[in-house]
Amino acid sequence: MDFECFTSCLRINLVRNAMPHICAALLLTALTPVIFSLTALNAQLSAQPLEMYLALTGMLLLTPVFLPEQDDTVRDVVRVRPVSYLQICALRVIAMIIILLLLYAAVMLLMQHGSCQISLSHFYGGTASAVFLGSIGFCASAFSDNTVIGYMTAIMYFILNLSAKEELGEFYLFGMSSAASLNKIWLYIGAAVLFAISFAYLKVLKKI
Amino acid sequence: MLLLKECKKIARTFVYLIFSALVILDFLTQFQNDLFPDNTFCKPVEGVGYYGEICDPHPELIMPAATESLLNHYLNNQFTTYPFGFYRSVKLNSEKSRKIMMILEELTGQTDQELRAAITNEPESTYDNGISETYFDYRLPELDIQVDYDTFLLLMEETDSILGGGSFYAPASLERTFGMVDMTYEQAAAEYDSFVRLDHVTNGYARLWCDYHGLILGILPVFLVAAFCTLDRRSKADAVIHSRKTGSFRIILVRFLALILMVMLPVLLTAVWGDLLVTRFYPDMQLDHLAMYKYMLIWIVPELIGVIGIDMLITEVFSGITAILLQFVWWFYECLTTQLSGDFSVFHLILRHNTFHNREIFMNQLNLFIQNRCFIAGLGIVCMLLTILIYHLKREGKFHGFRVLHKLFAHQSRA
């Protein structure tokens, strides 16, 4: 894929496909100071908006990656194009993760301005939860070929986290908010595995 | 028969399989988890053990405790609220702070200086209340409240409003926060008596069963609605269906009924299962074996009518994904802001009574419960009727659904 094609794909995808989802994620982020107090919070309370609320941006941005081509006829058209469909999807995933990191950075700047006790580990831990939640929706969408099932799986996993802390172990999303000493690297590894098996399934079994 | 056809169509979707599995899983991990030998309700023995806590809303108990708490928060200018279920620290500006002082003056009959002078401990006594600023815990001699309970409630409502809502001083939270006392033997015995004699055991458990299912059924049906109502579009059968003779009213009504019936199937299965489980744990009691079904009809069915009706309308006007996201926002807000029991109101989607005890709390709010269920079911039916109208307009080609962002960002050819 040459650079011009790359930027063109990225621009068209952002404007034509991803914009409603980006707008929803922006709205969710903009509401953070309304729902949470972002001043003078200690380290544990600072993690709450990042893990229990902003993590939903991961679901909003990453679950609908396959949505534009959910219709088989559109997918058939995409298949005959010279650029690989899965390369385009990978590009979308990277773009969405960058947007997600920017949204987190914006909220954390606001928290720093409000004298909250935050550090880089909050950024790392918060984004880990968001990317993992998004990867669950992404993977379920890929396997079922249905974005509704993607959202259903991601939302159910989020709800499960509200009551099953012990059972989820290292894959518990709200580790920092509940002062559990979890290594968030597992969430990133889990997300990477889910992205990889989704692409492998589409490439090898579905022959896309 | 169209209804049977639609039911079969729903049953064949993958989403329905997941939906049914989740309903049963919810039953096993929540309701069945609460049924174990040590958790059965035994007759209390006088002088043996702790009988638990009860909300005993005596004004003599609530008014001084709430006033002292308010005074402490005022002196620190640091208030804790939970407007959306999440922690929020509130600092008041001088004007709002003055309003709180005036309320305190009216409550205690003492001025700001007199109250500060009455503090009995050293101000360096502190504790960490979750934020990184120091909070001083002031202790005061017993406060003599100068107003009656009705005036007190009005002043507390005003306080909550000044704080932006979601505080402990909201009249609905006051009793739960400042009115909890240890239960006496007599109260525990009366509680057991109502459980056995009036609830016949199963009615108490039926409320708990409805509480768990009501919570999860506030969100799960939306996935089924989104998947089912967009099925025609995905399989490109919508144009064929639109040209059929069958009226829009019949198509949408049958889909609405089919969705309710299919959602009820796994719920009904857990009702039978639940009744059998309770029977096994209380073998010598006289049980009401219809309790689960009675509560299912008055508690779960209206909620399903509401959720399915609203979600069908949003799916038809916007899209299935919009319905999922809006329903999730509504459901999450309800979960965070609804108390575990005794917090019924007319406009809540989810009603909670997370215990098989406390029949009295439920019965005291029965009118609110009925009004709420009628409102939710009525809203669902109105939305279903609007869905018929929208669907009819779509069939006639007069409306194609709102795609605001789609239009805004639509690709325009430069040719």
pLDDT tens by residue, B274-309:
999 999 999 888 999 999 999 999 999 999 999 999
Query: In whole angstroms, what is the distance from residue A155 CA to residue B116 CA?
Result: 50
Query: In whole angstroms, what is the distance from residue B415 CA to residue B413 CA?
Result: 5
Q: What is the pLDDT of residues A72-94, one digit of tens each?
A: 777 778 778 888 889 999 999 99
Q: What is the mean pLDDT of chain B?
A: 88
Provide the Cα torsion B313, B314, B318, B321; round to 10°: -130
* A interface residues, B as partner, C-beta within 8 Å: 12, 15-16, 19-20, 23-24, 35-37, 39-42, 44-45, 48-49, 52-53, 60, 64, 67, 70-71, 115-117, 144, 146-149, 151-152, 155-156, 159, 162
What pLDDT score does B12 carry?
A: 93
DSSP string, B185-223: HHHHHHHHHIIIIISTTHHHHHHHHHHHHHHHTTTHHHH
Residue in B83, B133, B321 closest to A147 by CB: B321
Strands B88-90 and B53-55 turn out to be unpaired
DSSP 8-class letter at A169:
G
Query: In whole angstroms, what is the distance from residue A139 CA to residue A143 CA?
Result: 6
Closest listed residue to residue B272, CA positions, set B349, B220, B209: B209
- The lowest-confidence range among B100-109, B140-149, B234-243, B249-258 is B234-243
Is any Cβ of chain A less than 8 angstroms from the Cβ of B321? yes
Q: Nearest chain A Cα to B134, which residue? A: A40
Distances (CA, A) of B346 to A96, B34, B176, B210, B384: 41, 29, 20, 18, 20
- HSE value, Cβ hemisphere, 13 Å, CA-based, for B286: 6
Residue B379: pLDDT band by 50, 70, 90 thresholds? very high
Closest listed residue to residue A134, CA positions, set A120, A145, A150: A150
Phi-psi region of B280 (alpha: psi -120 to 50; beta: other; left: phi over 0): alpha
What pLDDT score does A120 carry?
A: 94
What pLDDT score does B268 carry?
A: 97
Residue in B88, B89, B324 closest to A151 by CB: B324
Residue B229: pLDDT band by 50, 70, 90 thresholds? confident
Residue in B86, B227, B324 closest to A35 by CB: B86
What pLDDT score does A93 carry?
A: 96
- % residues pLDDT > 90 (chain B): 56
Widest CA span in chain A: 56
Is the model's pLDDT at B68 over the cut of 80?
Answer: yes
Is A15 in contact with B409 (Cβ distance < 8 A)? yes
Is the model's pLDDT at A187 over the cut of 50?
Answer: yes
Average pLDDT over residues B196-207: 94
Beta bridge partners of B135: B127
Length of chain A: 208
CB neighbour list of residue A134: distance below 8 Å, 6 or more residues apart: A58, A59, A61, A62, A63, A96, A100, A154, A191
Beta bridge partners of B325: none
Residue in B223, B405, B410 closest to A148 by CB: B223
With beta carbons less than 8 A apart as the criterion, state whether B214 and B307 touch.
Answer: no
Is the model's pLDDT at B21 over the cut of 90?
Answer: yes
Residue spans of the domains in chain A: they are 3-205
Is the model's pLDDT at A96 over the cut of 90?
Answer: yes
Q: What is the pLDDT of residues B99-155, one digit of tens each?
A: 999 999 999 998 888 888 887 766 655 544 555 456 777 777 777 888 999 999 999
Q: Nearest chain B Cα to A146, which residue? A: B227
Residue in A70, A148, A162 closest to B226 by CB: A148
DSSP string, B108-128: HS--HHHHHHT--S-TT-EE-
What pLDDT score does B414 carry?
A: 44
- The lowest-confidence range among A152-161, A191-200, B138-147, B267-276 is B138-147
What pLDDT score does B161 carry?
A: 94
Closest listed residue to residue B92, CA positions, set B109, B110, B73: B73
Average pLDDT over residues B347-357: 92
Q: Nearest chain B Cα to A167, which residue? A: B29
Interface test with B, best of A61, A116, A159 (most B CBs within 10 A): A159
- HSE value, Cβ hemisphere, 13 Å, CA-based, for B104: 25
Interface test with A, best of B33, B86, B314, B354 (most A CBs within 10 A): B86
Is A146 in contact with B227 (Cβ distance < 8 A)? yes
CA B58 to chain centre: 26
- % residues pLDDT > 70 (chain B): 93
CB neighbour list of residue B18: distance below 8 Å, 6 or more residues apart: A149, A152, B223
Query: In whole angstroms, what is the distance from residue A126 CA to residue A176 CA?
Result: 8
